[in-house]
Amino acid sequence: MRKFFPALALVSLAFALPSRVQAQDSTKAPMVEAAVGTSVAEKALAGAAETFPNGTASVVCFTKITGATGTEIEHVWYRGDTESARVKLAIKGSPFRTWSTKKLPAEARGDWRCDVVQAGTALASVKFKVE
């Protein structure tokens, strides 16, 4: 009986200690960074600004998202409060960089924004103005 007691105590102790393996918390919202600019070069946003001159051909919404591997987000573009485009983007890693481009109409003056949305929830919103 003495030979089994230390082994039994060790097994009991192993179950009493907290586990170091942690499951990913699916209720935790992903971390999102978003900005707008005029282009993407070498996986980085170029021409970042909050205001663009009228006549700017297009604007890029660049998003870096962490903690959302294997999911999908949307870039939802608005002019004022009117939706003007919706782009689905697959998230294939963490952190993951992705972007969408919005071609602007000839007369694009006004307030714009691009919302980063996942499963109907806005994770981030980037506001900008065309003068």
The CATH superfamily label for domain 27-130 reads Macroglobulin (MG2) domain (2.60.40.1930)
Separation of alpha carbons 120 and 73, rounded Å: 9
Q: What is the pLDDT of residues 16-53, one digit of tens each?
A: 433 333 334 456 789 999 999 999 999 999 999 999 99
Nearest partner of 71 among 120, 126, 115, 34, judged by Cα: 120
Give me the residues paired with residue 83 across strands.
Answer: 78
- Residue ranges of the chain with per-residue pLDDT less than 50: 1, 4-25
Separation of alpha carbons 38 and 110, rounded Å: 17
Cis geometry, peptide bond prior to residue 95 (ω within 30 degrees of 0): yes
Separation of alpha carbons 9 and 20, rounded Å: 20
Each domain of the chain, given as residue ranges in start order, spans: 27-130
Question: What are the angstrom distances between the C-alpha of 81 and each of 4, 70, 77, 78?
Answer: 73, 30, 10, 6
pLDDT of residue 29: 83
pLDDT of residue 70: 96
